[in-house]
Chains A and B, each alone.
Chain A
Amino acid sequence: MQVTVLLFAAHREAAGTHEFIAELPDGATVSDALERVCAEYPAIASTARSVAFALNRTHVSADAALAHGDEVALLPPVAGG
């Protein structure tokens, strides 16, 4: 299956892209998508493991199951306001 992984802020800059299409086996989780994106962009690997996650625009934990077409986002520590 394919999922879209979105990167923001320092991760987006380090990877040089906002969006990455990850090809993953059935049964994959958010954590698997993270490993896939870290393998593709080693520059984000050191900080990406401490981020929060969103799946289809809702906060989830790393063990959330994925389905084809899902949108996963890596959310670095936020600083709005």
Chain B
Amino acid sequence: MTAHHSISGEPLDERAVVDCLASDGAGAIATFVGRVRSSSRGRDVTKLEYEAYPEMAQRVFEQIADEAKSRHDIIDIAIHHRVGSLRVGEASVVIAVSSRHRAAAFEACRFAIDRLKQIAPIWKKEHSPDGAVWVEDRP
């Protein structure tokens, strides 16, 4: 996982994402990990199935990274999203941001995940004992 942004069916490695942002000037690296949780809107969740428009999602991640860099005083940012079938507890997304000082890293990390949820062409189907539904998040 050396590319700065990716969308793939492989399990995410948070440590590798952090390591790829390590640089001598980075006094802070903030990370966000999105995980599959066991319940959603009162229903038990057995798994989530993620689907993406991968070629466009890759471009959108680059756009989000550019926006984060122009709004916050950060050094670098990495965005990795998983697709396919994920069990409870597995990571669906890892975002890491490096900066000289911590405030910018926290703020840019929050910005990036919010923006990803808003514009990245990614969908998820929630499976529960009563059936499966495509989720429509309202950010």
Could you list which residues of chain A lie within 8 angstroms of chain B, going by C-beta atoms?
A: 6, 8-10, 12, 54, 57-59, 73, 75-81
A80 and B53 in contact (CB under 8 A), knowing A8-B123, A75-B121?
Answer: no
Query: When the two chains form their complex, are residues B56 and A78 in contact, meaning their CB atoms are under 8 A apart?
Result: no
Q: How far is the CB of B88 from chain A (nearest CB, A)?
A: 16
Could you tell me how many residues of chain B have their Cβ less than 8 Å away from some Cβ of chain A? 28
**Cβ-closest chain A residue relative to B57:** A80
- Please report which residues of chain B, range 53-90, place their CB below 8 angstroms from some CB of chain A when the two chains form the complex: 53, 55-57, 59, 81
Closest 9 CB pairs of A and B: A80-B122, A9-B123, A57-B56, A77-B136, A79-B135, A80-B120, A79-B137, A81-B117, A10-B134
Query: When the two chains form their complex, are residues B122 and A79 in contact, meaning their CB atoms are under 8 A apart?
Result: yes
Q: Does B119 contact A (CB under 8 A)?
A: yes
**Cβ-closest chain B residue relative to A10:** B134
Q: How far is the CB of A40 from chain B (nearest CB, A)?
A: 20
Query: When the two chains form their complex, are residues A79 and B123 in contact, meaning their CB atoms are under 8 A apart?
Result: yes
Instruction: For B124, list chain A residues within 8 Å (CB).
Output: 79-80
Query: When the two chains form their complex, are residues B116 and A81 in contact, meaning their CB atoms are under 8 A apart?
Result: yes
Q: Does B107 contact A (CB under 8 A)?
A: no
Q: Does B125 contact A (CB under 8 A)?
A: yes
A57 and B116 in contact (CB under 8 A), knowing A8-B123, A77-B137?
Answer: no
Instruction: For A79, list chain B residues within 8 Å (CB).
Output: 117, 122-124, 134-137
A73 to B135, CA, bound (A): 19
